[in-house]
């Protein structure tokens, strides 16, 4: 908490130091702190630190001995001739300057724009040290496995709570396929919306061809809510936010009807195409919501949309294995599309979106992650289907859907320093969010100047535990909006 307070109250300082202007070692200002935010860290020739040294937003000047590892983020590390480091030294966004005589018995890692990534190992450094990152990676990867076993009939949580349906209890989640031995199976999810006083669920019949991975045909009948906001945060975390903080980060509407189509489940590809006939309608305002905490906070009103019968053709394709192994360098792509064939109250429209995930293991226990999203449409996109940018899971420290339109771009990126790298039980994240939503009548995707000038952005720092039980983010909006935002999460950002 003290570190967070320092981060929130720190003033911007000039930490630029030219190598030629370094003062003699005896004139250095010495400090005993082992972690420094937005300031320089000094260790004199007669000093020894038995802890890890971490400097964020400043430079490090070392003339003494450090038994642990050194991490400098957003600054340079200067090692004098008397410096001794028995762990590794890492500079992210800066450089490492060594004078003759300095000793580094661990890895030397530099990652910056000018030099790229430079990793060197000294003999007998870290190779003899056992790593416990293996357990953390298992937990992380297991958490981020593909969330549903089928694109056709997703596994539904038995407990869902939101502003529209209230408490949605689904006690029946059955699958009949002779214990996995039959090529024909039936799935049934059945529950009750206490906020709307009505039953809801899905019945699906599937016929697969071939064993294991392969194509299949399906038919589904359903009454369920639908949303375009499920990329923002997991459904279970949204339920907790709605119940205890009176915040719902999804906009949703009701659909009742059927779909018929085909799907494919493979090792590196998942796909589905379906012909859909549904009756869509808004949810009635729900007054049956808990007021345990934040009684004064009001939920957003239900989406406004006309009741309509809509016939459409839609599909989704996911390529790559990134969602199965977060720590493996790779790329994953998800394409989603929908075109209306007929509607009694909506104009014809096509809605397309693409999401690209990129993971890059920059160095041992240092992971760069990114998610790039694009949305486009043709025809008259109805207001309840427009793209929205801003808020949790989109661009931090900005209001929920502060920008809307029939086109959008969004980038989320973060640098993860894993627990083994941090020599502790927590991971550190440095993240950047940016995005923009606009109407296609304003300008095109190739008008980079207009998109850049109108985009909203934020930067932040996050810390979480190795089991992903919690995470605290502190974000600051960039540009004209001078706002700090602190959020408590039960998952990673994306």
Residue-level pLDDT at 371: 95
The Cα–Cα gap between 254 and 298 comes to 21
The Cα–Cα gap between 479 and 484 comes to 12
The alpha-helical segments, DSSP class H, found in 209-304 are: 235-245
At residue 3, the 3 state secondary structure works out as helix
Q: Report yes or no: 381 and 352 within 8 Å, Cβ to Cβ.
A: no
Residue with tokens 């975390």: 237
Structure-block tokens of residue 157 = 């949580």
Residue from 455, 449, 453, 456 nearest 476 by CA: 456
Q: Report yes or no: 49 and 43 within 8 Å, Cβ to Cβ.
A: yes
Residue-level pLDDT at 136: 56
Q: Report yes or no: 183 and 205 within 8 Å, Cβ to Cβ.
A: no
Contacts of 228 (CB under 8 A, 6+ apart): 251, 385, 387
Residue-level pLDDT at 329: 81
The Cα–Cα gap between 312 and 363 comes to 46
Residue-level pLDDT at 91: 84
3-state SS, 135-193, equals HHHHHHHHHCCCCCCCCCCCCCCCEEEECCCEEEEEEEEEEECCCCCCCEEEEEEEEEE
DSSP string, 281-309: EPPPP------SS-TTPPPPPPPP---EE
Dihedral angle sign, alpha carbons of residues 3, 364, 366, 363: positive
β-strand pairing of 65-66 with 48-49: parallel
Sheet of strand 65-66: strand arrangement: 48-49, 65-66, 84-85, 103-104
pLDDT, tens digit only, all 494 positions of the chain: 333 333 334 333 333 333 333 333 333 344 445 777 777 888 888 888 888 888 887 889 999 999 888 888 878 899 999 999 988 888 887 788 888 889 998 888 877 544 445 555 453 333 333 344 445 555 555 545 444 446 788 878 889 999 999 999 999 989 888 877 788 999 999 999 999 999 999 999 999 887 656 789 999 999 999 999 999 999 989 999 999 999 999 999 999 999 999 998 877 788 999 999 999 999 999 988 988 888 888 999 999 999 999 999 999 998 875 445 566 688 889 999 999 999 999 999 999 999 999 999 888 889 999 999 999 999 999 999 999 999 999 999 999 999 999 999 999 999 999 888 888 889 999 999 999 999 999 999 999 999 999 999 999 999 998 877 889 999 999 988 889 999 999 888 88
Give the distance, in angstroms, between the CA of residue 366 and the centroid of all CA atoms in the same chain.
Answer: 16
Instruction: Count the Cβ atoms, other than its own, within 10 Å of residue 389.
Output: 26
Q: How far is CA 238 from CA 143, 159, 393, in A?
A: 17, 11, 11
HSE-CB at 357 with a 13 A cutoff on CA atoms is 23
296 forms bridges with which residues in the sheet?
none
The Cα–Cα gap between 91 and 109 comes to 6
Q: How far is CA 440 from CA 304, 381, 394, 451, in A?
A: 22, 11, 20, 12
Q: Report yes or no: 344 and 307 within 8 Å, Cβ to Cβ.
A: no
User: Where do the structural domains in the chain lie, given as residue ranges?
Assistant: 2-129, 147-350
């Amino acid at each position: 908490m003290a570190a967070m307070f320092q981060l929130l109250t720190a003033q911007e300082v000039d930490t630029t130091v030219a190598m030629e202007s370094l003062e003699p070692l005896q004139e250095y200002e010495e400090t005993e702190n082992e972690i420094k935010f937005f300031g320089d860290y000094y260790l004199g020739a007669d000093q020894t630190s038995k802890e890890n040294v971490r400097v964020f937003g400043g430079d490090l000047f070392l003339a003494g001995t450090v038994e642990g590892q050194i991490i400098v983020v957003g600054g340079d590390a200067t090692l004098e001739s008397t410096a001794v480091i028995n762990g590794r030294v890492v500079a992210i966004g800066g450089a490492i300057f060594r004078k003759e005589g300095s000793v580094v018995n661990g890895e030397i890692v530099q990652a910056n724009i000018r030099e790229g990534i430079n990793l060197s190992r000294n003999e007998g450094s870290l190779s003899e040290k056992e790593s416990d990152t293996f357990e953390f990676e298992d937990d992380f990867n297991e958490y981020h496995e593909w969330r549903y076993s089928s694109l056709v009939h997703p596994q539904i949580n038995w407990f869902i709570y939101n502003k529209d349906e209230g408490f949605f209890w689904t006690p029946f989640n059955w699958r009949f396929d002779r214990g996995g031995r039959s090529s024909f199976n039936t799935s049934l999810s059945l529950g009750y919306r206490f906020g709307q006083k009505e039953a809801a669920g899905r019945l699906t019949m599937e016929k697969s061809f071939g064993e294991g991975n392969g194509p299949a045909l399906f038919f589904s009948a359903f009454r369920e809510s639908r949303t375009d906001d499920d990329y923002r945060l997991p459904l279970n975390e949204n339920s907790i936010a709605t119940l205890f903080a009176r915040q719902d980060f999804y906009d949703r509407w009701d659909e009742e009807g059927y779909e018929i189509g085909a799907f494919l489940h493979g090792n590196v590809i998942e796909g589905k195409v379906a012909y859909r006939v549904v009756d869509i309608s808004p949810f009635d305002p729900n007054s049956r919501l808990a007021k345990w905490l934040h009684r004064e906070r009001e939920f957003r009103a239900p989406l406004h949309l006309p009741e309509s019968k809509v016939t459409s053709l839609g599909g989704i394709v996911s390529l790559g294995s990134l969602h199965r192994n977060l720590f493996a360098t790779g790329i994953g792509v998800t394409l989603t599309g929908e075109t209306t064939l007929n509607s009694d109250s909506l104009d014809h429209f096509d809605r397309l979106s693409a999401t690209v995930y990129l993971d890059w293991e920059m160095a041992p226990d240092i992971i760069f992650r990114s998610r790039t999203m694009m949305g486009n449409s043709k025809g008259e996109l109805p207001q309840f289907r427009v793209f929205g940018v801003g808020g949790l899971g989109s661009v931090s420290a900005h209001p929920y859907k502060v920008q809307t339109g029939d086109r959008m771009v969004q980038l989320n990126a973060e640098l993860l320093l894993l627990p083994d790298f941090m020599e502790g039980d927590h991971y550190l994240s440095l993240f950047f969010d940016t995005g923009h939503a606009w109407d296609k009548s304003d300008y095109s995707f190739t008008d980079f100047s207009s998109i850049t000038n109108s985009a909203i952005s934020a930067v932040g720092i996050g810390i979480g535990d190795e089991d992903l039980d919690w995470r605290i983010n502190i974000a600051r909006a960039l540009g004209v909006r001078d706002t700090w935002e602190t959020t408590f999460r039960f998952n990673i950002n994306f």
